Structure 1
């Protein structure tokens, strides 16, 4: 998305900016507009003001151009700078004090021809990619650069909604989460609307996602957050029914895949409640079966991971689980989209 205050770059997975409360002259990156965000549950309203998989993207107009980007964060955190699909050796630290970082095309990448074999992004597209942990603000951008052109980016976009699992909470880095694996395997660009601890299928989130027409396939992870909160299966059913049908109503030709609960502690421990988990999975299946929309599909989360892919909390997938989910889900999406 292009923003008037920063015309030389594209702000990806950013719906709007707002003043950063931790410092002057900073524009905080938000994934959905405040007009929708303020109607979410309190935790989700905060999460969508974190830049999970948000990116500052630009292409230097000359190979030796030096682009300066001034950033700050609400707390100490890191970002990673990709050139096309090429990841950095190390992350870069950023904190509450604004700091200016300089970027130029790495010398060897200047010799790479932008072919299909070079990856789904042109190698001269700089992608400053942010993590989920804390809020980020832009203060200034200078230097000879432009936003990427369409032919320098993936042709299709993948939209993902879900819990902290979709936000990549336990992945060792955000580019190892399952949704990034899916995007990479299928050659898609990624829009991540994960809401850690707060994916309650809020109607305002459905209303917002329904307004967006810049995606080609979507997955909706529905939702261990609700199973672990005070929602009954009947309440869950009603929320999911509105959520998925609202998006499908607006995009009847686009594949929308509803993911049931991944395997987690309720399925696996002596103190768990497997019937409770099953009731929530059954509710998602029922909603899709009852829906008039043929573009709605169900993929069972239990088919995508197992206990060996979980971290020690028996809830969040670790790196092995993220890769397993991403690979298996990519295969399902490819078959559905055919």
Structure 2
């Protein structure tokens, strides 16, 4: 959405509160139909949210603040697809008003040349301020901006739905999440629809995803948030069947997975939930890949026994990207530069890939 002459990317609603403007990744009418946790909590977490703009003057100052979180809350600054230099690479946000100063780099013309030559997905004159995992409030800005041009960012988008793993917990920084890595590898923009602790595969969420016409392909990660819910296996199966049925009817390509490898309890129920997803992930454009394959190394799970580490995120992104390439005819067209950077077209089977990528 466009607000204050900037694009608030992956924001569907702005709610003004005493602390500032809170950003929602869901339209509020959709959020009202979902569980309380996502409605009042995780839909306002800003992983995958970016402030995008072109600068008209010499400098722009953004006024932001965050809620108190256990994890460090930082913004990352990019010029198009290129990470900012040491002056602008990252800035720490506090619970009181924090001012972030941004200027174009003096070597912007060189960045433009590199971006054009390498066919990078974002134009370097578009400033991208990547917001952190927690709840971030926008308080205003100083300096003149204008919304980015349509041509400044990819026109093909990848939507990722899932739990805090999709959302990016333990990825440490937004670009390290598996959705960000997958989107980058295919030159797409990323729509992060991960909801920590509240990915309950509710039918209104499936209907919302299907109603969005701005994505080319999607992934859905299903099950981890339901392990501790007082829901029978039969009711879980009914929910999965209904959720996937909505997406299958849409017809666009949706890559489906179940519960990634984890080191926690409820392994028996995990196996039951995985089997339920496997049995219903078919029809339409649904393509199933086991979560145990996408993340197979238990050492790539953090000390909380659930969330993948940065290496785990890398493994998920790399393996799922290979699956996508194998099925991807007509979904995307990679440039020579992207193929050179991310590998050749893979038609290997899952078993072969698993041997080479442990």
TM-score by length of 1: 0.88
- Structure 1 residue 265 displacement after superposition: 2.3
Check whether the contact 2:77–2:90 (CA below 8 A) recurs between aligned residues: yes
The match for 2:284 is 294
Q: How does 1:295-334 map to 2 (within 5 A)?
A: 295-305=285-295, 306-334=297-325
Check whether the contact 2:91–2:100 (CA below 8 A) recurs between aligned residues: no
- Structure 1 residue 29 displacement after superposition: 0.8
**1:199 alignment partner, SS class:** coil
**1:44 alignment partner, SS class:** helix
The match for 1:54 is 49
The match for 1:80 is 76
How large is the Cα RMSD of the aligned pairs? 1.9
- Structure 1 residue 141 displacement after superposition: 3.0
Moved more, 184-193 or 138-147: 138-147
Check whether the contact 2:263–2:301 (CA below 8 A) recurs between aligned residues: no
Q: Any idea what the Cα deviations from partners look like across 1:66-94, whole Å, max 9, x if unmatched?
A: 12322222337321111112224452122
In structure 2, C-alpha distance between the alignment counterparts of 1:147 and 1:66, rounded to whole Å: 15
Aligned residue among 25, 31, 52 for 2:25: 31
Check whether the contact 1:186–1:334 (CA below 8 A) recurs between aligned residues: no
**1:327 alignment partner, SS class:** helix
Moved more, 256-265 or 135-144: 135-144
The match for 2:91 is 92
The match for 1:269 is none
Aligned residue among 249, 254, 262 for 1:264: 262
Q: Any idea what the Cα deviations from partners look like across 1:177-207, whole Å, max 9, x if unmatched?
A: 1111111111111111111111111222222
In structure 2, C-alpha distance between the alignment counterparts of 1:235 and 1:131, rounded to whole Å: 35
- Structure 1 residue 129 displacement after superposition: 0.7
The match for 1:230 is 230
- Structure 1 residue 118 displacement after superposition: 5.3
**1:265 alignment partner, SS class:** coil
Q: How does 1:143-292 map to 2 (within 5 A)?
A: 143-249=143-249, 251-252=250-251, 254-265=252-263, 272-289=265-282
In structure 1, C-alpha distance between the alignment counterparts of 2:231 and 2:261, rounded to whole Å: 19
- Structure 1 residue 284 displacement after superposition: 0.9
TM-score by length of 2: 0.83
In structure 1, C-alpha distance between the alignment counterparts of 2:161 and 2:117, rounded to whole Å: 28
Q: Is residue 2:332 matched to residue 1:337?
A: no
Moved more, 324-333 or 199-208: 199-208
In structure 1, C-alpha distance between the alignment counterparts of 2:262 and 2:102, rounded to whole Å: 42
**1:278 alignment partner, SS class:** helix
Check whether the contact 2:65–2:136 (CA below 8 A) recurs between aligned residues: yes
Check whether the contact 2:263–2:298 (CA below 8 A) recurs between aligned residues: no
**1:115 alignment partner, SS class:** helix
In structure 1, C-alpha distance between the alignment counterparts of 2:242 and 2:58, rounded to whole Å: 49
Moved more, 35-44 or 313-322: 35-44
**1:225 alignment partner, SS class:** helix
